[in-house]
Chains A and B, each alone.
Chain A
Amino acid sequence: MGSGETMLVAMTVNGKAVSRDVDPRTLLVQFLRDNLRLTGTHVGCDTSQCGACVVHIDGNAVKSCTILAVACESSAVTTIEGLAAGGTLHPMQEAFREHHGLQCGFCTPGMIMTAVDMVNRRGPDLDEHTIREDLEGNICRCTGYHNIVKAVAAGAQAMGETAFKQAAE
């Protein structure tokens, strides 16, 4: 590489159409952080272990350090910046604040995106064992996970209630 060739990539990020000319080896996380200046998605390791970079691609949680930006052509990407609808926090964001599920905040965006995906996949009734097992790909050094687990359980319940209300309306 290093030939200076670029490729045009277009996708939807947080509901907005974006396109940029990028070095083809640009990772999605670099595209988000460096090209779009969406710095809420973090890089905590080089080996796809820590999960600080988790975003949703077409509704599925993906570590954005493991996929090239050009592989996301035409995809819909949601980052932590796009999770709150309008001015209202997502129930999972609210739960992390309410249950002190964060300290330094660095792993938090990835944790929240993973937790939302967990509820999307498994539904709102998550037991502690399931939550702990499903957080395997997200590392936090501050909280000892105790309050993250509480936050995910509460956020899941709140997401379930929100979905129930929306279905009823």
Chain B
Amino acid sequence: MSATGIGASVRRKEDFRFITGKGHYTDDINRPGQAYAYFVRSPHAHAKINRIDKAEAERAPGVVAIFTGEDIAADKIGGLICGWMIHSKDGSPMKAGPHPALAQGKVRYVGDHVAVVIAETYAQAREAGEQVNVDYDVLPAVVDTGSARSVGGEPVHEVAPDNTVFEWHLGNKPETEAAFARAAHVTKLDIVNNRLIPNAMEPRAAVGDYDDGADSFTLYTTSQNPHVARLVLSAFNGIAPENKLRVIAPDVGGGFGSKIFIYAEETVCVWAAKKVNRPVKWNSDRTEAFLSDAHGRDHVTHAELATDANGMMIGLRVHTTANLGAYLSTFSSSVPTYLYAPLLSGQYNIPAIYCEVDAVYTNTAPVDAYRGAGRPEATFVIERIVEVAARELGFDPAEFRRRNFVTSYPHQTPVIMCYDAGNYGASMDKALELIDYKGFPARKAEAQRRGRLRGIGFSAYIEACGIAPSAAVGSLGAGVGLWESAEVRVNPVGTVEVLTGSHSHGQGHETTFAQLVSERLGIPIDNVTIVHGDTDKVQMGMGTYGSRSGAVGMSAIVKALDKVEAKAKKVAGYVLEASPDDIEFKDGKFTVKGTDKEIDFASVALQAYVAHKFNGQDLEPGLKEGAFYDPTNFTFPAGVHICECEIDPDTGVTRIENWVAVDDFGIVINPMIVEGQVHGGIAQGVGQALLEGTVYNEDGQLLTASYMDYCMPRAYDFPSLKVETTETRCPSNPLGIKGCGEAGAIAAPPAVINAITDALGHENIAMPATPLKVWRAVQEVQPRMAAE
């Protein structure tokens, strides 16, 4: 392994600009003559708009223009789309209601976009916005996930009279029913997977710019996938054809899914730039982010696990109601369906699984992918019910899992997925050793002497990443293919630019991708620059989400590097007067087999461009190759996380005392960066389990719309984390990578809740397990414990 190659913890190339304050985030971009946008938002969860009176606001100082849904409609700007078609059990397509970028006739959640005010300064836009008078007829709001279908009253969308978007299912119902009929034991569990608000630290922002000389648009925006944004803004919203629309996603301050989607604000800013013929800038404040960023999770689930007399799992049936909010966000429909139910088999050999998912509209913010997207929800179901089953059956939770682990590969589950490689027992062994499982009873007893309740909880998760084979997702309803692109440009001096369709917003691609190129071409890592996030530079790409940039994005780079090497060998052959077949390439040098004739990579690059040594008709000058890579399967990262916690029964406060994570991510490019991804994922998962609760009141008002109300994880909420890996190579991509970005967020919530319920001897603890909830549970169990 070289100091900067695959497997080395290379310090990040991107860090210098961030630690010196020289990053370029969207809000750092200012265009000459720019005006500022402020969005007038609905204060009601559900209301008819009778009239919008903007006359007074238009007279306010500094106002340039005010637009409403009428203007959007007049310009025939298309609505925001959902790009994944789900069909119900009866074959009918999902019921997608209209989603205009500015409301037309009705508002459907608090924060819904009613008008945009554009003014000379942001303060003027905001002040004028407060003078836009909107006459509403307020309607009863549909808020609660579980009762959205039966609440009656005016539905959120006419197209869905009972607020049902679809009734979908997966698996084999008769086989599952048969398994339950012969079960020795059935474990039943009701679960709420709490709604979360993603909260990337950089709020969303956009600068729309219109060049009237060229009749072309540029949108600077906080996007994880600028090419997808351009595609949607062109093909569906009709802003401009793709050749007249450039989308730039510069440094982006975290995404976690929330910056995948094409939102109203960005769409309006780029459209309005032409209307006012000035750049239009918008930057979300934090409360706007709480109100209008797509939220995550929000499932209500009943699950049942059937086991036989030997403690083997024989069937799983799950019914979930998934809240998709007021509108179908870009990929919302895929999250509680194909990103969820196919993961319900977990790491276990379960012969029969059947899952039903009813998706509902409510008068709340749209719900879409948030770190893990469907897989945390699935993992919470399976890892909670497995833990409860182990307790009911009297098994040690580690042993119960181990006896049901999948142990041979490939393993076809009853719910689509074919696991290609893994060693779940190895991760479990290592995790048990790292947490000192044998010492736990002594630690528990010691805690008890101090008046504390100590618990231990497991989570043996699996996820499907590296999304995804285009044909496969196409057959499941995706409107796009999920390949990735790369272009490797070798300069005449031997330095390299790699253009990638992946987008880095914290993941460190500028370093890890350069490690791959440095090792492969035998050139210093400083000679490699990674270019991303600009549709004028990178031709096309699908962006970063679903832990796909290593497995799919880097595989595309490998393919392009293969082509570069093949071409370079031809050039070297001419220079060294040998057949390309006799040229070997190693450590940055081309040699003629069996001779001492050699030429280094930089010299070959120069020869490719001067083209003196070969006829340009036989071999084209230059050294630049592109590739598209379409994966052949999902990848299946898996691992075991163990949480050990202590509860103060007097206050209900839960402290995490130990955390062990053992993950199998396949081949790891940069262990330092991978560990960092795991740390961050765990923090978000612990946040879900202990701290983060999204609260709408019955009128649909978001009560948790600031950092004073929504509890973000802080440094003191965590102990030092023990993070290690095991390794089975992923067989379905050239680098053997599985992906690591979402694992922590997927694994952590059930580990925490299993630890708390272990400590309490009480299974009914809803997330977030706040001190109040835990204290109440303690009050219920303490008399019981005292009696025992």
Contacts and interface: CB of A to CB of B under 8 A. Distances in A.
Interface of A: 2, 4, 23, 25, 33, 37-47, 49-50, 52, 79-81, 83-84, 89, 93, 96-98, 100, 102-109, 112, 128, 131-133, 135-136, 138-149
Interface in B47-67: 61
A142 B713 CA distance: 11
B12 interface: yes
Contact of B23 (A43, A105, A149): A105
Interface residues of B, number: 61
B785 interface: no
A45 B684 contact: no
B356 interface: no
Contacts of A98: 11
Contact of B20 (A44, A81, A136): A81
A2 B23 contact: no
A142 B721 CA distance: 15
Contact of B721 (A23, A81, A144): A144
A103 B506 CA distance: 4
Nearest to B21: A40
Given A139-B201, A139-B712, 10 more contacts: A2-B127, A37-B30, A42-B25, A43-B27, A80-B20, A100-B673, A108-B18, A136-B716, A146-B718, A147-B676
B708 A106 contact: no
7 contacts: A100-B672, A105-B14, A106-B23, A106-B200, A109-B21, A141-B683, A143-B680
B679 A143 contact: yes
A68 B24 CA distance: 25
Given A39-B28, A105-B506, A135 B715 contact: yes
B366 interface: no
A149 B22 CA distance: 23
Choose among A39, A141, A146 the residue with the greatest number of B CB atoms under 10 Å from its CB. A141
B21 A96 contact: no
B251 A143 contact: no
B707 interface: yes
Nearest to A26: B123
Contacts, number: 185
Nearest to B198: A141
A104 B20 contact: no
Contacts of A37: 30
Nearest to A112: B19
A106 B21 CA distance: 9
Contact of A104 (B61, B253, B721): B253
Interface of B: 11-12, 14-25, 27-28, 30, 61, 123-124, 127, 199-203, 251-254, 256, 283, 285-287, 505-508, 672-673, 675-676, 679-684, 706-708, 712-716, 718, 720-721, 744
Given A40-B22, A103-B676, A141 B123 contact: no
Nearest to B25: A106
Nearest to B255: A104
B287 A46 contact: yes
B426 to A, nearest CB: 24
A15 B758 CA distance: 57
B253 to A, nearest CB: 3
A161 B721 CA distance: 28
B743 to A, nearest CB: 12
B718 A89 contact: no
B508 A103 contact: yes
B21 A89 contact: no
B715 to A, nearest CB: 4
Nearest to B200: A141
Contacts of A109: 18-19, 21
Contact of A47 (B14, B680, B707): B707
A145 B18 contact: no
Nearest to A98: B11
B714 A136 contact: yes
A142 to B, nearest CB: 5
B718 A144 contact: yes
A40 B22 CA distance: 6
